[in-house]
Each structure stands twice: as structure tokens, then as C-alpha cells.
């Protein structure tokens, strides 16, 4: 019998990230010849070049000071300026709770002034005597909430040990481990040489951002993230057991910030939150910034908003949260999409800026009092990189690094040893969920370790992950599992055609039955157009007489030219057929979203 060639060319293979009886994840050269030829380093757009006429200073007093730089007025206008500031207030209701804000009455000023500590973010506007708007800027302010302070102080008094560490989830959308090395070499070099711990076998568990972050934040799988959290129902997400709620109940300040508001994790084709989900919530400020400040786009997304990038608003919120409640621990999710979501080479434009933030963590002492998880949700899901011979690995293996403070390492040498071992073990977002709860347990503020409801065998990354862990153990569906080898087979064979036709029927069945058939008339009936490739998997632990086989097939449909990738199993004797997990859409489908506006099936409806 002739063994067909492996899917990954030997010239691209440099070893294995995970190697065990149950799991072999290839380590692929990020600069394989085909990818090297198509990759180009990007430059980020330069945001508003003029010096800022106003800025916030916290140094001189406990109260924030709005500085007005009169010496810079001439840079903006020959005429005198009339300036005022308005507070940005979250005022939406019902289905618009998370999408509306208002501006308070504009308070005039013509010199520096002290602001009240209860004030939230402000929009500064300056006009000349002719009434023309000359200057706009947004300053992020975190109000010192008396209720929050009272909660924090009560826990501070209970602490028997020193203050628990901050917990920071520092995320960049759509960046694989390989693409971090490829597009952000300075950042990657710093991480590898500065004492950060990598989880090289970190495997995604869902298609896009929402299911992968919900696994981190709730421990729920794709199904329960929809069924139990009801993201398209008013207050559905509010009732969901997010880990930040557990932290808040146990004496932490909580924060959440994300850029690109139309596509943010909990709002894209969803209702969002009825009430602010965390103590400090940047979304209303970002909505105002997107509307009132001059913007520049990068690969179609708003990159610059006024004097800084959208990502800087998010990352600066880390330091602003820390400074607003000094002496108390905080938990925060800080997530960006603006420079990475739409193009795999986009992150190259932010390599030096991300490195600056990592170094700022050190110089400001953040590394001394914070556990940091620097990670992505998945790699590129469409485009040239996804269509490359190693594209299925790019999509499924996001980057993941963690930082432990030196004092924490001294107190827990067993954890340091565990995370070193776990570098080359199969890990998932469910493990990160358990780890976040483990940190709370270590703080002494909770007694019992909360586990993932949908992955009973998943565990804290602070404990050694079993060497022979399988995708089944980690609740990674076959379609997302990177542990098994696939081999090229003849895409024109009758067997492959039968499997592909049955997959197309499966998709049409979904469209016919979703929402009790009420939206089927909005979508075309799909037909097979072309089979792009076919691979056969190696299934472990099957009895010798088994006729069960597994395949990975990419194909296009008509009308519309959608490109899909599926992992299917079929018993060749009984002809029993099964699609494992979900089906990947490998080209963009944004223009079709308006057809039905229902995320679980948007990728199928043409």
C-alpha cells in the first residue's frame, strides 16, 4: 500500500509542539517559502499629528486635572477659542442599552481646572468665534465610585495575607502562534527572553471570537454559550455566570475594554449587556470616540480615533484601572480587533507598539503585582494565509503567553514547574477558565475551585496537564483538533464526492430548519460547485474490523462562491454519516450578514 503524502509539506515541518500517544501537533515554520513570498510588513496610519491642546494629569492631586495648554492655541486657530467639556453617559434602554450614550451639558473652561473624582470620561470641544469646531478630544476618566470603594475596603480588611495579584486578560483578535512570530518578531522575542511562559499547544474550541472567549469567561461550550447565555435576548448575557462577576463579588475591581464597537465580542449580531457588566466599562466612551473624533482606517476598520489608535484606548485602560483604585486588586479583559482582524499581516504595524506596552508593564510595576494572560482567540479564518497548506493550523492554534509576578513564583515553585511542563501539552480556553478560578482560590477569598461545566476533565494551567491528554478529554471537537495527522487523497474519488454532497445537504438542512423554517425563504438552496481538496485522517483506538473513516474536505458552493471546510466521519459499511463540530467558512461573508442577521447560520445563507 502506498502512503499518500502528508498535508503539511516536510519542508515546512520543524518538529512538534505537542508529542504524545494521543496528540501530535506539528511545529510549522512561520516563514515557509509560500508564505514568505506573500508576507509584507505594514506601517500603521499616523494619527492626528498636532500636539494635544488638552490632557489629563493625576500627578499633582488626588483629583484629575484637565490641563489647557494656552501656548498651543495658535497651532489650531488665529482666533480665540471657546472650549467646553461634556461627560459621556451610558443611557440606552432595552435592546439599545449597550449602544446608546448621551453627552451632558457642555461646561465651559478657558484654563486648566480640577475635575471631580466622580466624573467619567469626557469629550472636549473647542470652537472659534465664528462657531467652527476646531478641536475635539476624548479623555478617559474612571470615576471613584463610593459603592465600589466600600466593597473593596470590606475585603481589604478580611485579607489575612498580602493583597492578591491583579488579573489581566490582554488579548489580540485573530493571531495564531505562527503569525505572532511572523508579524511581530520584536514582541515574540521579548516574550521568549523576558520570563514569560508560553502555552504552545493552546488549541481553540470554537469557530470565532464569541465561543472561544465564552469558554474563557464562563467555561461554557459553543452550544451552552448560546442556549444558557441567550446573547440575542435582552439581559441574557447579564444573567450569564461570567468569571468577572465572581471576581467582583470577591473584592476585585472589574474592567472590560474592547475596540471596534460594531464587531465587539458581545455585541456583533447580539444585544450586548443591559447593565454595565463590569465596574469600569469602556464601551460608551469608545462609541463616542468613533462618532465625534476624526478617524483613519486600516484594512477597513477604524484604527485612529483622534490623537491615538483605538488599541491605545483599550491598552491604556489597563493602567487607568490600576491607578484609579490603588492598593486594591483588579480583574480586566482588554481586547483589540482593529489592527489584526481583517488581514494577517496587519499586526506587523503594531509590533513596536505592543513591545512598548510590554516594557511599560515592567517600568510601571504592573509585572510586580499582576498575573497577565497575553493571548488570542484563534488565527486567521479566511484569506490567503488560511488557504495555505498549513492554514488549518494557523486558524486553530492561537498564541498564548502568561506572566507570573516574581513574588508569586517564589511562593509557588510548584506552579512555575507546572507551567513550564505545560508549554508542550494540549491546552484550551476551558483550562484558562479554571485557571482564573484557581487564582481566586489561591487568594484565600474563595474556598472551592469552580470547574468548567462543559469540560469536566479540564483543569488549571497551574497544575501539570496529563501528557496523554486527547482532544476528547479537552472537549475539542474533531473539526478543531490539531492532534491528528491528515493525508491527501484523490478529491475526484466517488467517496469524496458522496461525502461532500452529503455535507452540502447537511448545510441546506440547517437553513431549512433554523428558527422553525421561518427564514429559509431568505437563503438560496446551495449546490456543490467544486471540491478544492480532500484529506483522510488517522483515527486512533479503533478496533481492527472498524469501517469508520474520517475526512477533511474543502469545497465551494453556488450561488455565491462560498468556501467551506468540514471534518466528517462515515462508516463505510453502514453509510452512517456525521459532521463533527461546526463547518468553517474560509472566505469573508460580511456582505451576506444582512440577509438573516442570525450568527449561528450567517455563514451558510447566500
* Whether 437 and 521 share a structural domain: no
CATH for 536: 3.10.450.10
Q: Is residue 170 part of a domain?
A: yes
| Residue 355, pLDDT score | 98
At 594 the pLDDT is 64
Distances (CA, A) of 597 to 238, 271, 300, 512: 21, 12, 21, 16
Sign of CA dihedral 317, 322, 328, 331: positive
Question: Is residue 238 situated within a structural domain?
Answer: yes
Same domain, 193 and 340: yes
Range of the domain at 576: 485-602
Query: Is residue 75, in this structure, part of any structural domain at all?
Result: no
CATH code assigned at 181: 3.40.720.10
Structure confidence by residue, pLDDT tens digits, 384-414: 888 888 889 999 999 999 999 999 999 999 9
Contact status, residue 174 vs residue 379, Cβ threshold 8 Å: yes
- pTM score over 0.85: yes
546-584 confidence digits (pLDDT tens): 999 999 999 999 998 999 999 999 999 999 999 998 899
Tens of pLDDT, residues 315-367: 999 999 999 998 899 999 999 999 999 999 999 999 999 999 999 999 999 99
24 three-class SS? strand
Q: Cβ–Cβ contacts within 10 Å for residue 149, how many?
A: 13
Q: What parts of the chain have a pLDDT lower than 50?
A: 1-5
Q: Which of 595, 600, 597 is nearest to 582 (CA)?
A: 600
Q: Per this entry, what is the length of the chain? A: 606
Q: Is there a domain that residue 60 lies in?
A: no
Instruction: Let me know whether 431 and 527 are in one domain.
Output: no
Confidence (pLDDT) at 520: 84
Residues 152 and 131: beta-carbon distance below 8 Å? no
pLDDT recorded at residue 5? 47
DSSP designation for 202 = B
Q: What's the confidence (pLDDT) of residue 11? A: 62
Q: What pLDDT was estimated at residue 6?
A: 54
**Is 113 domain-assigned?**
no
253-258 and 280-281 strand pairing: parallel
Whether 432 and 564 map to the same domain: the answer is no
pLDDT of residue 4: 44
Indicate whether 353 belongs to any domain: yes
Query: Residue 563's closest CA among 590, 596, 588?
Result: 588
- Give pLDDT, residue 592: 65
- Whether 449 is in a domain gets the answer no
In a domain, 319, yes or no: yes
**pLDDT at position 63:** 87
Same domain, 221 and 333: yes
For residue 11, list its beta bridge partners: none
Reported as half-sphere exposure (CB side, CA atoms, 13 A), residue 544 has a value of: 0
For residues 437 and 560, state if they share a domain.
no
β strands within 359-489, DSSP E: 370-375, 400-403, 486-488
Domain count, the chain: 2
Chosen domain end from 392, 418, 443:
443
Judge if 434 and 574 occupy the same domain.
no
Amino acid at each position: 500500500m502506498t502512503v499518500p503524502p502528508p498535508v503539511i509539506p516536510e519542508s515546512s515541518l520543524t518538529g512538534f509542539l505537542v508529542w504524545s500517544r494521543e496528540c501530535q501537533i506539528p511545529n510549522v515554520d512561520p516563514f515557509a517559502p509560500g508564505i514568505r513570498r506573500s508576507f509584507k510588513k505594514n506601517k500603521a496610519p499616523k494619527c492626528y499629528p498636532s500636539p494635544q491642546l488638552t490632557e489629563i494629569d493625576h500627578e499633582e492631586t488626588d483629583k484629575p486635572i484637565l490641563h489647557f495648554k494656552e501656548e498651543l492655541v495658535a497651532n489650531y486657530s488665529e482666533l480665540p477659542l471657546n472650549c467646553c467639556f461634556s461627560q459621556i453617559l451610558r443611557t440606552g434602554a432595552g435592546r439599545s442599552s449597550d449602544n446608546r450614550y448621551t453627552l451632558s451639558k457642555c461646561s465651559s473652561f478657558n484654563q486648566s481646572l480640577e475635575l471631580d473624582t466622580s466624573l467619567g470620561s469626557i469629550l472636549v470641544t473647542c470652537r472659534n468665534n465664528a462657531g467652527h469646531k476646531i478641536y475635539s478630544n476624548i479623555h478617559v476618566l474612571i470615576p471613584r465610585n463610593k459603592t465600589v470603594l466600600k466593597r473593596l475596603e470590606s475585603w481589604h480588611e478580611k485579607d489575612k495575607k498580602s493583597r492578591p495579584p491583579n488579573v489581566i486578560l490582554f488579548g489580540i483578535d485573530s493571531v495564531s502562534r505562527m503569525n505572532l512570530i511572523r508579524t511581530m518578531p520584536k514582541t515574540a522575542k521579548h516574550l521568549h527572553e523576558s520570563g514569560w511562559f508560553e502555552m504552545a499547544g493552546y488549541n481553540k474550541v470554537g469557530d470565532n471570537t464569541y465561543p472561544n472567549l465564552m469558554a474563557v469567561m464562563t467555561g461554557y461550550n459553543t452550544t451552552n454559550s448560546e442556549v444558557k447565555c441567550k446573547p440575542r435576548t435582552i439581559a441574557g448575557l447579564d444573567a450569564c455566570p461570567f468569571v468577572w462577576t465572581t471576581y467582583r463579588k470577591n473584592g476585585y475591581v472589574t474592567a472590560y475594554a474592547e475596540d471596534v464597537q460594531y464587531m465587539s465580542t458581545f455585541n456583533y449580531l447580539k444585544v450586548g449587556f443591559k447593565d454595565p457588566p463590569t465596574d469600569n466599562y469602556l464601551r460608551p466612551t469608545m462609541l463616542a470616540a468613533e462618532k465625534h473624533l476624526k478617524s483613519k482606517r486600516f484594512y477597513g476598520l477604524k484604527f485612529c480615533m483622534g490623537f491615538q489608535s483605538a488599541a491605545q484606548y483599550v491598552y491604556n485602560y489597563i493602567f487607568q484601572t490600576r491607578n484609579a483604585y490603588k492598593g486594591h486588586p483588579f480583574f480586566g479583559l482588554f481586547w483589540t480587533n482593529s489592527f489584526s482582524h481583517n488581514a494577517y499581516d496587519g499586526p506587523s504595524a503594531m509590533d513596536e507598539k505592543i513591545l512598548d506596552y510590554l516594557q511599560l508593564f515592567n517600568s510601571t510595576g504592573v509585572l510586580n503585582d499582576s498575573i497577565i494572560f497575553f493571548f488570542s482567540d484563534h488565527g486567521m479564518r479566511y484569506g490567503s494565509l488560511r488557504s495555505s497548506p498549513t492554514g488549518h493550523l494557523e486558524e486553530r492554534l492561537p498564541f498564548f503567553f502568561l506572566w507570573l509576578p516574581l513574588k508569586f513564583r517564589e511562593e509557588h515553585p510548584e506552579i512555575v514547574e507546572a507551567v513550564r511542563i505545560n508549554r508542550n501539552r494540549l491546552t484550551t480556553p476551558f483550562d484558562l477558565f479554571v485557571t482564573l478560578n484557581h487564582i481566586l482560590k489561591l487568594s484565600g477569598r474563595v474556598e472551592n475551585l469552580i470547574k468548567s461545566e462543559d469540560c469536566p476533565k479540564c483543569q488549571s494551567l497551574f497544575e501539570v496537564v496529563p501528557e496523554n491528554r486527547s482532544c476528547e478529554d479537552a472537549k475539542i471537537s474533531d473539526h478543531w483538533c490539531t492532534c491528528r495527522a491528515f493525508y491527501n487523497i484523490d478529491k475526484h474519488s466517488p467517496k469524496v464526492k458522496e461525502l461532500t454532497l452529503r455535507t452540502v445537504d447537511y448545510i441546506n438542512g440547517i437553513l431549512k430548519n433554523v428558527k422553525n423554517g421561518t427564514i429559509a425563504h431568505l437563503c438560496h438552496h446551495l449546490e456543490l460547485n467544486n471540491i478544492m481538496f480532500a484529506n483522510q485522517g488517522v483515527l486512533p483506538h479503533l478496533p481492527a474490523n472498524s469501517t469508520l473513516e474520517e475526512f477533511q474536505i474543502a469545497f465551494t458552493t453556488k450561488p455565491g462562491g462560498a468556501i467551506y471546510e468540514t471534518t466528517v466521519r462515515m462508516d463505510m459499511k453502514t453509510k452512517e454519516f456525521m459532521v463533527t463540530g461546526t463547518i468553517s467558512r474560509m472566505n469573508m461573508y460580511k456582505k451576506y450578514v444582512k440577509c438573516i442577521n442570525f450568527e449561528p447560520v450567517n455563514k451558510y445563507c447566500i
